[in-house]
């Protein structure tokens, strides 16, 4: 190896069995820059995965954050998330997201009715939360949605996606006879296909707050959820359309931010 007149340049001789190749005026700083770019790219990807898919970060508006009960980023398939699958619907991890598709035609024919697996479906059990809770996740659809919903407390706190609209549903009584539905106000136009959305659903007693990227926060009230078991969280996509879920968390509350 020869060193030229400048400290920044070097001449490298690489001897191979069939010849000698000379590489002149090679900047060693280029190598360092290449490694730095590679490291930075890896770091950005890691940071992306830790954050949410929509790029919109929310802070709790109602409750103090307590113990995390479920935290799933779907980096790889696990027995836990496989237990969430219902009604023969088909789910798998694709590019770090949990993607659900309807059940097979054979399953649908053998299970007629509302549990036929036409819509991707997940269910997960959660504990009683007397001091409130926060549920947050990212989702998207790759086609226009007819009707999809995310809910808990047996329809008592539900986010509905219907066409271009996002709607909050709350039950006002234990028998779910008195139900209110309130549209969220969009700040970025109609609901979009192939766009990730992030959602925060908070509850404490009879109070509800929902934050959805691209929409204004909405405050509502309904039957108290503090003194009962919430049973299961249910996620149901639109019939015949894949549903993408990522960064799912369910967190116990530790009381109100403003008592």
Domain spans of the chain, in order of start = 2-48, 56-256
For 87-105, what is the mean pLDDT?
Answer: 93
pTM: 0.77
Mean pLDDT: which of 65-79, 145-159, 185-199 is highest?
Answer: 185-199
Structure tokens at 117: 């697996």
Of 132, 201, 142, which is closest to residue 166 (Cα–Cα)? 201
CA distances from 38 to 32, 51, 95, 136 (A): 10, 20, 20, 32
For 185-197, what is the mean pLDDT?
Answer: 92
User: What is the CATH T-level fold of the domain 56-256, as seen in this structure?
Assistant: Jelly Rolls (2.60.120)
Q: So what's the pLDDT on residue 77?
A: 58
Q: So what's the pLDDT on residue 2?
A: 41
* DSSP string covering 102-145: PPPHHHHHHS-STTSS-S-EEEEE----TT-EEEEEEEEESS--
Of 183, 243, 253, 175, which is closest to residue 215 (Cα–Cα)? 183
Calculate what percentage of the chain has a pLDDT beyond 90: 53
Q: Where are the alpha helices (DSSP H) in the chain?
A: 28-50, 79-82, 105-110
Q: So what's the pLDDT on residue 32?
A: 44
Residue 98 burial (CB count, 10 A): 26
For 41-60, what is the mean pLDDT?
Answer: 64
Calculate what percentage of the chain has a pLDDT beyond 70: 76
Q: Is the pLDDT of residue 121 over 90?
A: yes
First and final CA of the chain: distance in angstroms? 74
Q: Is the pLDDT of residue 90 over 60?
A: yes
């Amino acid at each position: 190896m020869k060193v030229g007149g400048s400290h920044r340049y070097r001449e490298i001789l690489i001897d191979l069995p069939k010849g000698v190749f000379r590489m002149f005026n090679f900047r060693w700083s280029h190598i360092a820059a290449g490694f730095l770019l590679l490291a930075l790219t890896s770091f950005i990807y890691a940071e992306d995965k830790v954050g949410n898919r929509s790029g919109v970060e929310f802070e709790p508006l109602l409750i103090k954050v307590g113990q995390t009960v479920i935290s799933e980023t779907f980096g790889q398939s696990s027995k836990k998330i496989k237990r969430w699958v219902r009604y023969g619907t088909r789910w798998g991890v694709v590019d770090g997201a949990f993607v659900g598709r309807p059940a097979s035609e054979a399953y649908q024919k053998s299970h007629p009715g509302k549990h036929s697996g036409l819509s991707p479906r997940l269910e997960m059990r959660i504990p009683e939360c007397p001091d409130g809770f926060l549920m947050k996740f990212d989702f998207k659809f790759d086609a226009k949605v007819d009707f999809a919903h995310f809910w808990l407390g047996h329809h008592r706190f539900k986010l509905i996606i219907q066409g271009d609209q996002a709607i909050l549903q709350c039950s006002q009584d234990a028998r779910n006879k008195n139900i209110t539905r309130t549209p969220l106000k969009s700040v970025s136009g109609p609901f979009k296909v192939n766009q990730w959305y992030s959602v925060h659903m908070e509850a404490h007693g009879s109070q509800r707050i929902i934050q959805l990227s691209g929409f204004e926060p909405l405050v509502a009230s309904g039957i108290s959820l503090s003194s009962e078991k919430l049973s299961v969280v249910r996620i149901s996509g639109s019939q015949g359309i894949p549903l993408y879920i990522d960064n799912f968390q369910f967190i116990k509350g530790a009381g109100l931010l403003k008592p």
